[in-house]
Amino acid sequence: MRFAAVLNQDSGTLRTTDVPAFADRLRRTLEAAGHSVQVDIVAGREIGAALEKAVAKRNVDVVIAGGGDGTVSRAASLLMNKKKALAVLPAGTMNLFARGLGIPQTLDAALQSFATGKVTAVDMASVNGRPFVHQFSIGMHVRMVKLRETMDFGSRLGKMRASVRAGWATIKNPRTLKVTLSIGNAEIVTRTTGIGISNNLFGEGHLPYADNPAGGMLGIYVSVARRRYHLAKLLLDMLRGRWRDSEHIEIHQADRAILKIHSPTKKFSAVMDGELVRLERETVVEILPGALNVLVPASNARAKAAW
């Protein structure tokens, strides 16, 4: 296969990696398996243009996106409904979409999996037509991300620590939103501390990522927790993957959901694939079955069984 790799040198793992040396290993690994590869190392502010350039190349079968949630989401949006495939290099903080694809979580192991990988189709989702690959959320998660962005961190571990501090600060002063959530023929009117909508239902017993990224359904999570203790327990349940055991969250599945915000605040924000975005008062979230071709490990038994 013909690869084009775009490496965001400012992303979590690559920020503390000798990126030119890693790029050399990438070339050697793929070329030894009979592939060709072009590598572009860029700063975070240049990632969008570099990905557009890679996707536009005619002599490319697979685009490797090396970076965090924003990098991967941007690459996926450019490759949506195209024949070219996306290979996700897990160079972010949690790499949740990569985990759902069964990609090994160390950079060099991921490269080895690309050398013998197979292309398959997985789902994407959209918010008012804007695509995402992992999750869209409002409420508590938004406040946490905003607080984290005010903190200094220079590494993947530093970002994780900042996330914990921001999460605790958010829990100590919870706020609610009045919303209407329409799912099929059901309409839920509630006050909530947060709603998350994922590209396929998160699996159980692990970090929040989908066990089957081609399941064709949104996972919809509505927090009913209000008190600090309950919010802290919910956060812990989320990290441990104990969604169904939690009494502080309602879980739904649907191929489409409509979210309406009734709170009086003039401007709202959401988090989409880890990035802050402007939120409209009425938002339509839809699953996009099979919209993205991805490169997954040939030995990934889960991928073979599920897809």
At 191-240, the pLDDT tens digits run 998 999 999 999 998 989 999 999 999 999 998 877 777 777 777 777 77
Q: Are residues 100 and 144 in the same domain?
A: no
189: domain CATH number is 2.60.200.40
Q: Are residues 138 and 193 in the same domain?
A: yes
**Residue 122 lies inside a defined structural domain of this protein:** no
Q: Are residues 158 and 277 in the same domain?
A: yes
Pairing of strands 62-67, 36-42: unpaired
Q: Are residues 218 and 263 in the same domain?
A: yes
**Residue 277 lies inside a defined structural domain of this protein:** yes
| Domain carrying residue 175 | 131-290
Per-residue pLDDT tens over the stretch 73-93: 999 999 999 999 999 999 988
Q: Are residues 110 and 189 in the same domain?
A: no
**Residue 60 lies inside a defined structural domain of this protein:** yes
Q: Are residues 188 and 252 in the same domain?
A: yes
- pTM: predicted TM-score of the whole model, two decimal places: 0.89
Lowest mean pLDDT: which of 17-21, 203-207, 287-291? 203-207
Over pLDDT 90: what percentage of the chain?
67
For residue 301, what pLDDT is reported? 44
Per-residue pLDDT tens over the stretch 34-78: 999 999 999 999 999 999 999 999 999 999 999 988 899 999 999
10: domain CATH number is 3.40.50.10330
**Residue 272 lies inside a defined structural domain of this protein:** yes
**Residue 71 lies inside a defined structural domain of this protein:** yes
Q: Are residues 164 and 96 in the same domain?
A: no
Q: Are residues 59 and 184 in the same domain?
A: no
Q: Are residues 141 and 282 in the same domain?
A: yes
Mean pLDDT of 239-262: 88
Q: Using pLDDT thresholds of 50, 70 and 90, give the confidence band for residue 154.
A: low
Query: How many structural domains are present in the chain?
Result: 2
For residue 186, what pLDDT is reported? 92
CB-side neighbour CA atoms (13 Å) of 83: 7
Q: Are residues 223 and 88 in the same domain?
A: no
Q: Are residues 146 and 186 in the same domain?
A: yes
**Residue 123 lies inside a defined structural domain of this protein:** no
Q: Are residues 57 and 166 in the same domain?
A: no
